[in-house]
Structure 1
């Protein structure tokens, strides 16, 4: 158990009148006694009737699990073993304590499953058949309704997005819907004007042979500095629930968000399915 999580246990037991020590995240006689008393009062939920013989460390994890259960947080089996589900439950419990509510979880996000233009799956054979081969892509430039600033060089701006010519009408439709919904103020507020690029004749990051979807001119990156590749929905700015319309506008046209589907690379949207 992390020190911050033991502080959380101590604070919750203090609120229950079971713990009178400091919120220091350190195990000691007062903490262990409070945990023991709490577990005794909640023993019906513990997975084994022999829990009294568990180590103090395991009992502290059990207390954390029980505290989460009390708040209707799914923690799985109350067994005193610390694993991914207990860690996740602890994060949710901390959110609840800090903010009085639990933010939306990635599992609550349901992408729109539409593909009106029959965009192909993301494999080289299918992409080549539908779009042509990288290095010989028919590109066009679509004018964005709002001014775009390069995210890595805010002094440089553009309104033009280089994209595969097959996607121009779809992209225009998406951008116009988004602008009509959010307006100039919303575009600025959520950083939707922070542009990360589109067409780029390169391979996937970390690969020397597999082409990126950018090489076909079918992918766009948005606000990369606040939506880095490995950031999850709890950190990426474009995962904000206020941006559901942003993503749904893309998805209704068949574009895919890696963030909404895989909880990574929230900057990236592409006209290819997975």
Structure 2
């Protein structure tokens, strides 16, 4: 069980006047005693053998009860910390912090526009449309806000290197995003944390397939909080507040891997899949 979940438990026990210790996320005698009292008060909702469980299992059972109190399905009240309980506990933390439950990936519907007839991803199609990888003509597009390199926040830029065919489209996108979010909103969402654009390299994990970055047609945003394997349950750019951001890109035909495949939420490209 995570420290954050134990803090949540302690906070609820304190609110019910059952716990009078520190909200420190550490299970000790005071927390265990409070859990025993809390579970005894709700014994009708527990299996008959619950009193024979370990104190660690009591904590999980109480967490499951708290999830069910908010109509979050944590599965059976069995005191076992599995994937369903972990997912439910995460939803409960978000609900307590924001007042609303997180959105599932299945609720995300990207716009499949393609006004500029961007090609399908694949070396032949991309090379026909954009030229050979690593040998394309790049231009510098001005960004309305200052970008900080995500791995070195002291290093800043106001330009993005992009394929010449995308310069007008990218300029429109950046201007619209600035108009929607403003400087403060962009910073609050980490959209001033830049992960790069053109990069003459192969796809990660591949020895032969070129990355779309090699054509200068892809951009990464806030990589440190939107890592390659992270899904919408973890990536910050999957938050509903970012729907307008992604909608602006999608109206121009760009594709978000996060919105389409629930991975690599940092990445947006001018190529279809």
TM-score (norm 2): 0.75
Gaps of 5+ in 1: 44-48
5 Å matches for 1:1-274? 1-2=1-2, 4-17=4-17, 19-20=18-19, 22=21, 24-26=26-28, 30-31=33-34, 33-43=36-46, 50-52=48-50, 55-56=53-54, 57-97=56-96, 99=97, 101-102=99-100, 104-105=102-103, 107=105, 110-116=108-114, 117-137=116-136, 139-144=137-142, 146=144, 148-149=146-147, 151=149, 152=152, 154=154, 157-159=157-159, 161-183=160-182, 186-187=185-186, 190=189, 192-224=191-223, 227-229=226-228, 238-239=237-238, 241-274=240-273
Kindly indicate whether the alpha-carbon contact (under 8 Å) linking 1:39 and 1:63 is maintained by their aligned counterparts in 2. Answer: no
Query: Offset of 1:72 from its aligned partner?
Result: 1.8
Query: Offset of 1:82 from its aligned partner?
Result: 1.4
Gaps of 5+ in 2: none
Change in 2 beyond 3 A, CA 1:84/1:120: farther
Change in 2 beyond 3 A, CA 1:196/1:104: same
Query: Offset of 1:87 from its aligned partner?
Result: 1.1
Tell me how far apart the structure 1 counterparts of residues 78 and 117 of structure 2 sit (CA, whole Å). 48
Secondary structure, aligned partner of 2:175: helix
Kindly indicate whether the alpha-carbon contact (under 8 Å) linking 2:92 and 2:101 is maintained by their aligned counterparts in 1. Answer: no
Query: Offset of 1:257 from its aligned partner?
Result: 1.9
Query: Offset of 1:31 from its aligned partner?
Result: 4.3
TM-align CA RMSD: 3.6
Query: Offset of 1:65 from its aligned partner?
Result: 0.9
Secondary structure, aligned partner of 1:75: coil
Tell me how far apart the structure 1 counterparts of residues 12 and 85 of structure 2 sit (CA, whole Å). 16
Secondary structure, aligned partner of 1:269: strand
Tell me how far apart the structure 1 counterparts of residues 9 and 155 of structure 2 sit (CA, whole Å). 48
Most deviating of 218-227 and 250-259: 218-227
Query: Offset of 1:268 from its aligned partner?
Result: 2.0
Kindly indicate whether the alpha-carbon contact (under 8 Å) linking 1:227 and 1:238 is maintained by their aligned counterparts in 2. Answer: yes
Tell me how far apart the structure 1 counterparts of residues 182 and 269 of structure 2 sit (CA, whole Å). 23
